[in-house]
Every structure is written in C-alpha cells, then in structure tokens.
Structure 1
Amino acid sequence: MTPLTQSSAEAYVASTCFKIGPPGRVGVELEWLVHDSCHPHTAPDPDRVDAALDSLRLPPDLPLLPHGSRLTREPGGQVELSSPAADDLAGCVQLARLDLAALRTAFAAQGLTLAGYGTEPHAREREVTLRQPRYLAMEEFFGRAGPWGKIMMCTTASTQVCLDAGTDDYAGTDHTAQGGGGSDGSDGTGPAGRLGFRARWALAHRLGPVLVAAFANSPLLDGRPTGYRSTRQAVWSRMDPSRTLAPALDGDPRTAWARYVLDAAVLCVRRSDDRPWNAPAGLTFRAWLDRPEPERPTLADLEYHLTTLFPPVRPRGYLELRMIDAQPGDGWVVPAALTAALFADPKAADAAFEALEPLAAATAEPGPRGPAWTRAATRGMDDPVLRQAALGCFAAAESALADQPAAAKLRTALAEFADRYPTRGRCPADDLLEAPAARRPAPEEDAPC
C-alpha cells in the first residue's frame, strides 16, 4: 500500500468532501434531548432509554427506522435521527416525520419525551453516558481546555440540514460572492453560478449567523439564563478552534478544507487493543503524516479524523449546516424549508445574497467566533441588521416555495414562523426567557402525565 503523504492526503480530502453534480437532494439530522415526561428536571433512567430503543428492534449494525432514517446515540444520552437524502424538500420532510413519529411512540411508551432545545435547560450532572473509546478520548481532549467540550457533548442538541455541494460550472472563477458583478454567472451570481459549489459554500457561511439568530433556542443552562439566546453557539465558539472554526473562505473551498483538515489537532487515535484512544497533546494530522513511515496514519485514519471535525459548515460530499439549535416539536421543519428553498432556487439565492450583503464585513471572519456570529448568539433577532437580513431570506424562500405545490404547507409554516419571530424581533429563545421560572421550559415540550 502506498504510504499516505501530505499531498496525497490533501488531494483525497479535496476530491471526496465536495462531490460535484446538479444539486437537489435534501436531508436532515435531528438531535433530541431525552426527558422523563413526568419529571423533566431529572435525568431519565438509562435503562428506560435502552428499552425504548430496543422496542424498535433495529439491527445494531444498520439501525434504520422504517422509512430509512438512521438512529444513533450521542455521548450525553441524546438521540439523533438522520433522514435519508430525498430528491426534494417535501420528500425529506415526509420521510423524517414518519420515522420521527415511530421514534416518539417508542419513547412515549417508556414515559419519555424527545425534547427540542439547543441546550439542556435543567440543572443536571454532566456525564458521558456512552463509555466508548471515541467519546472517552473526546472527553479527555476537550477537557484540556475547560468545560466547554463536555457541555457540548452532554447537554446540546441541534437541527442540521444537509444539501448537495453543487456543480463545478465555473471552475476557474471566484465564487466567494462578495457582492456585485453581472448576471452571466462568471462571478457566481448567475442562475447556473448559484448552483456551483463555490457559491453554495459562500452562501452557507454568509447565512450562518442568520440561522443562529432566527432559530436560537438555548437561553438556559443549569436551570438559569446565560445571557445568550443561543448558548449552544456560545459553547461551540469556546472550543478547540482547529476543529470548530470555519476554514478560510477565500479561494477554492476544496483547497481550504483540505488544508484545514491536515492542520486540525488529532482528537483520538484508534487502537485495536484495550489502550485508550487518547491522542498526544498538540499533534496535528499534518504532523502525524511527518512521522517515520511505520508511525504514519493510514487512509482509514484520515477518514476517521474527518468525522471529528465540527465547523459550522462541514463538507461530507454534501454540505452539512451545523449551526442551528434543536427546535421544539416539529419546528425543525422551518429551518429545513428555509435553507433548502434558498439553495434550490437560483433567484432565491440571489435574493438571499442581497439581503445578507449588510453582514458581509461581519461574516468575513470565520464562524463561530466572528462578530456576526457573536451578535447572533447573544441577541438573536433583537439585532436589527440580522433581523432585516433574516426577513429578506424568509421572503426569498417563501417566493421560491410558491412554485412548488407539494410544499404549500411548508411555505405556510415558514410564513407563520416569520410572522411570529423575525418580524417581531424575536426567536424561540425569547419564549423560554419570558416564561415564569416555575414554568420553564415551555410546557409544550413535556407531555402531560
């Protein structure tokens, strides 16, 4: 086998993490905190969670729900449903809803509720309940720099939207979408250009703070307000920057991402014996490749390393948008509809770029530590610039969905959310903050007993 080198590793990452082709498919990854339906302030008995999952009778090597969604467990006891990639937004929502209904039924039978918050709002001991080598190494790695990694692992949940990377119609041009230009697509602004992976990469990052602010739903931690609308976002901004910051946004995204991957610190080293998977402090993947040949990582090590990187937008052959807090109930449908509509329709993408232009300078610094990201986490839709940008994006998405009869109900949900929240300078976090302390979190999240 040919040894892995820096150049071959970068070439592999660049060629596999952006799969080029006409975009259209949509997927969602829905993380949920698990609550006892009668006593949400107390952590549920793990045996009851096990019983709920066992009742689904899913093969351990391929845990797929009836309509194709993959079910996994997170290190702090959260569960995640990852839908199959659907050909359009309406199909994605339908499949995810059907599998989510089956999952909710199984948990309800054990007196458990799937709770949609970006952070666990109740005061609980933080414990890594999945004692697997990966998560034990992750706990040790993040523990070197403070409590933020363990907070992320044990008390956070997100709504992630997955979209095709796009085409490569304008391979030699600049698609960083800094504004201006003609309509022929030569700068990524034409109809075909908006379907190119460079423009879609740029839009995902430009849109990121708006998604954080509009769907902020984590103002509480340890039973108290934190001063943030999205505490989850604030937690991510304090973690290892080599794996949570966005890569450089100028130039070719494939090259930037490949360099980012190699320069990221190694989180864990898989071992076949009983030794811990802990990685040496300060070791980057690039430095690991510089070791003597018998000690170098393999291609399998590189592929595993990719799964330990958590920037706001992660290229996995498709683009995984990771910055959205988990939403209450079926609220996840709205961020899925908003992003899918903007990315599927070139005119909507143009309108979104125009609406986001006032944020251009504030988003030039990579998330999640740039000024726009910080304002989004702190103020949500109370920030006037973010609010106006959000309203422009919601309007563009509604217009795009008007041409899709199958998405009529999704368009209605989008409009109702916009009216309830961005139009009024609010986000879901404000509902939690305004509820009397005795009634936090909002009662709709916990089934009556």
Structure 2
Amino acid sequence: MVSAAGAPAPAPPDAGPSVLRDCADAEAYVASVCFKIGPPRLVGVELEWLLHRPSAPEVPPDAAALVTALGPHTPTTLDPSSSALPLPSGSDVTVEPGGQIELASPPLPDLGGLLQAVRADADTLHRLLATQGLRPHLRAADPLRPPVRMLDVPRYRAMEQAFDRLGPHGRSAMCSTAAVQVCIDSGGPDDVASRWAAVHAFGPTLLAAFANSPLMHGRRTGWKSSRWESWQRADPARTVPPPVSDVTGADPAGAWARRVLATPVLVVRRDDGWQVPHGITFADWIKGALPVPPTTADLDYHVSTLFPPVRPHGHLEVRYVDAQPGRRWALPVAVIAALLSDPAVIDQARAACEPAQDRWDDAARHGLADPVLARSAGVLFELADARLPALGAPPWVAHDLADMTERLVLRGLCPADHHARAALSDPAEDIRAPGFADHPEPPEGETS
C-alpha cells in the first residue's frame, strides 16, 4: 500500500479482538455478525444421534470405541492428533458431550443435492460406527441411561457447572438429547425480517409434528419432546423462545443483540483458566463487573453459549426439531426449505401458524394431539409437499413426506406416539422396537 504522498503507508495493525467498553458498540457488533445479509441461496443441516449397543443398551458409548470406529474422521476433541477428515461428501463429524455423534453438512445451493450428499455421508458414518457395534437411537432423548458427560473439555465442564446451579436438566440436555438442526441463509435486506419471523412462527407446529422423545432416563416424562423440556429448564435465560414481538418487528438483529447482552455470561476464557461467573450479564461485563474488559472474541464465544429455538449465526440455525428415526431426518430439512422457498408460501404458512405461534410448551408436551397445532401442521405439510418438485427433492424424500403426512400428521400423531404403549412398562422396548420409519418402503426406482 502507498500513501497519497507517495511514501509507503504504515502497516495496518495486526488483526485481533477489540476491547468492548460500550454496550451500543457491542449491540451493533452482534447485529452485524449474526445476521449476514445476502440472497437466500444455501441450506445445510446438522444431525445428532444418540448411540447404543443393542446387546447392552444400558451401557454408554466409550471414547475408545468411537476413535476406533471413526478412524481419520475422529474429531480432535476425542483425539488431538486426528486429521479429522470430512466424510466423502464433505460433512464434518463431531461428538457432543454425552457421546452423541454429529454430522455437519457443508452448505449447498440446492435442496436435492444437500439431501443426497447428507444421506450418503450418514450411511458412511453409520457403517463406521457399526464396526464397533454402535447403532443410532431412533429417539431424540436417551430412554434408559442417566446423563453422563464423556467429553472432558473446558467448554463442557463450564456448561455443566453453570447448568448445575439451576438443577439437573442441563446435564440431561447436554448428554442425553439429539436434534436435527436446519441451517438457512438469513436473506436479503427486504426479506430477512420475514424469514426470521417465519422460522419462529413455524416453530411450535414443527416441534409438535416432529416430537420424538417421550421417554428419558428410564421413565415416561409426560412430554412428547422431553428433549425440548430439558433444554428449556436447563437455563431459561439462554434457551427459551423470544417474545413474539421480538420476532415480528422490523429490526430482528437489534432485538437479538439486546437479548445477547442481557444474557448471563456462562464462561470467561483466560490463559490462567476458565471461570464460570454467576449472575453477570454481558452488559454487566462491559460496564466493569469483571476485572478484565471483554473483547469481540469474548462476545463471539458468548453468542455460541445461547441455545434458543433459532440462533442467528451468520445464517439462521433452526434448533427446535427432535432427531428423527431412520432417514426421516431429511423431512424437517425439506419442510423448512420448502416453506421458505417462495414469498407467497411464507405468507400462507405464517397465516396458518398464527393461532399456534406461541404454543411452544403445548407442542412439546402434547405434540399434534393439540388440535390447534394439528390444524396448522396439516397446512404446513401440504404446502411443503407442493413445493418439493420445484426444489429438486429426491423421490425418496417426497415419498417419506407423503407417508408421514398420511400416517401421522393428518391423524394428529407424531413420532413420539409410535410404540409408546410398549415402552410404558419397559423403556428398553423403545430401543428394541423398530421405528415407524426405520425401514420405509422406497418409491419405485429408489433403494433404501
């Protein structure tokens, strides 16, 4: 670089975290990094599975077996020397605190390509796990085992310490649950507010339709989504849904930034050790509540410790769907992508969900037995089904969506209702019984 006077310009300062001393600056920073504005082109997914050995379902998976099974795909949290190679179609493998396995796809520009790539990587991953006798659970919460943290890393130690102050639910949420997390672009200047409002409006209805965790730790909890219940009780300040007014306003980035600063700090990372403060919000930290002022890097990390139903992360990370049985993980991805694929469809879907848009706990407790949620689910699945051909969805996805709509949604049922009676007296039956979609009949010309 040369200055206007012709002399060499001074080198720019080294890039690094900036110290934050003003809440307004911090809110502006959050708004700019959490909502990346641009055309909505990409979609991705993160899939989590609880693992078990059918011969010993009460025994948790162990780290050594996972390292052996995953080989060069082992994440560095399990083996720091691992090359942590992605799976053949580009998905990364990670491990959650309780030993749940996670597949994180690359973001791709078309739904059909994403679903085919993730299906191939999921099949590869499950074959690797099977070499050590490990199989994925059909449910989104562990029906038998108590929550035991397998990963001993600073982040999860800090989360456990912070959650334990509030009760036992945090350990269950961290170690005994699994989800399907759909990742979509925030959208351009003219549609980001609409997309933000839409994914929240759909939330209770899709939470109910895909609820799949009626048991946890050897008992029936009374919730169709025990996963949702455990996360909501783990640390409400960082997990509960925002007020409807915060997601339907014209400035979603500003509302989110205010929530971020009002949320207690979970952990302070420093070279001499990680500290877990109590009752200090990030705004308090900026105002001097802790000895060393925070930086933008601290704020980035703080954002990663919030777990609301939808988390803006540059893109929008939809987190309210339970893990699904078999290949049915593809259905919430397809439904959400389809509902957001056209402005007219977004408007129709939001209108259908308006009576249900704040019924989060009803959705998690009752599933589609709630008639308000059942009506909105019927409309959403019909709209999604009509949009799938235009999005290039594979035939097996359209087949599975039609099957789920007919066998469950239109009957006021959700995956949690399948084999529920058998599991009442023996939670182990929930593991041994086939899932409603464990081996679905594929459409003509498709292999399962």
Is TM more than 0.5 here? yes
Classify 1:420/1:238 alpha carbon distance in 2 versus 1 (closer, same or farther; 3 Å): same
Asked whether the equivalents of residues 139 and 212 of structure 2 are also in contact (C-alpha less than 8 Å), the reply is yes
Most deviating of 74-83 and 48-57: 48-57
User: For the residues of structure 1 that align with 2:187 and 2:118, how far apart are their CA atoms?
Assistant: 23
Q: Distance in 2 between matches of 1:219 and 1:292?
A: 42
Residue 158 of structure 1 aligns with which residue? 179
Q: Which residue of 1 aligns with 2:96?
A: 74
Shift of 1:412: 2.2
Partner Cα distance (1:308, 1:55) in 2 = 28
Tell me the matched-pair count.
408
**Secondary structure class of the residue paired with 1:441:** helix
TM-score by length of 2: 0.86
Equivalence for 2:37: 20
1:48 aligns with 2:70: no
Paired residues of 2:37 and 2:186 also in contact (CA < 8 A): yes
- Please say if residues 203 and 320 of structure 2, whose CA atoms lie closer than 8 Å, have aligned partners that are also in contact: yes
1:127 aligns with 2:148: yes
- Structure 1: unaligned runs, 5 residues or longer: 170-195, 364-371
For 1:112, which of 111, 129, 134 is the aligned residue? 134
What is aligned with 2:355? 358
Structure 1 residue 425: deviation in Å? Answer: 0.9
- After TM superposition, the structure 1 = structure 2 runs for residues 228-239 of structure 1, keeping only pairs within 5 Å, are 228-239=223-234
Partner of 2:442: none
By how many angstroms is 1:234 displaced? 1.1
Distance in 2, matches of 1:240 and 1:338, equals: 29
Does the alignment pair 1:11 with 2:45? no
Query: 1:225–1:433: 8 Å Cα contact kept in structure 2?
Result: no
Q: 1:35 to 1:57 in 2, by over 3 A?
A: closer
Please state whether the residue corresponding to 2:182 is helix, strand or coil. strand
Which residue in 2 is equivalent to 1:283?
280
- Once residues 266 and 291 of structure 2 are traced to their aligned partners in structure 1, the CA distance between those partners, rounded to angstroms, is 20
Could you tell me which residue of structure 1 aligns to residue 266 of structure 2? 267
CA-to-aligned-CA distance 1:26-64 (integer Å, 9 cap, x gap): 111001101113222322343212211226467746542
Instruction: Describe the shift of the 1:404–1:241 C-alpha distance in structure 2 as closer, same or farther (beyond 3 A).
Output: closer
| TM-score, length-scaled by structure 1 | 0.86
Partners of 2:407 and 2:139 in 1: how far apart? 18
Q: 1:367 maps to which residue?
A: none
Between the aligned partners of 1:85 and 1:40, the Cα distance in structure 2 is 34
**Partners of 1:70 and 1:340 in 2: CA distance:** 21
d(CA) in 2 for partners of 1:326, 1:406:
20
Alpha-carbon contact 1:401-1:408 (below 8 Å) kept: no
Give the counterpart letter for 2:254 in structure 1.
T
Q: Which moved more, 1:399-408 or 1:109-118?
A: 399-408
Aligned to 2:48: 31
Q: Tell me which moved more, 40-49 or 386-395.
A: 40-49
Residues 54-83 of structure 1, C-alpha deviations (whole Å, 9 max, x = no match): 264677465422211111111111111110
**What is the correspondence of 1:32-431 to structure 2 with a 5 Å cutoff?**
32-54=49-71, 56=73, 60=82, 62-122=84-144, 124-169=145-190, 196-247=191-242, 248-251=246-249, 252-273=251-272, 275=273, 277-291=274-288, 295-360=292-357, 363=358, 372-431=359-418
Q: After superposition, give the CA deviation of every residue in 1:260-298 in whole Å (9 maximum; x if it has no partner).
A: 11111111111223x3x2321111111111118971011
In structure 2, runs of 5+ residues without a counterpart are 1-16, 77-81, 440-448
Q: 1:405 to 1:12 in 2, by over 3 A?
A: closer
3-state SS in 2 of match to 1:255: helix
Cα shift readout 1:134-181 (whole Å, capped 9, x = no counterpart): 111110000001001111011011011111111112xxxxxxxxxxxx
* Pairwise CA distance, 1:311: 0.5
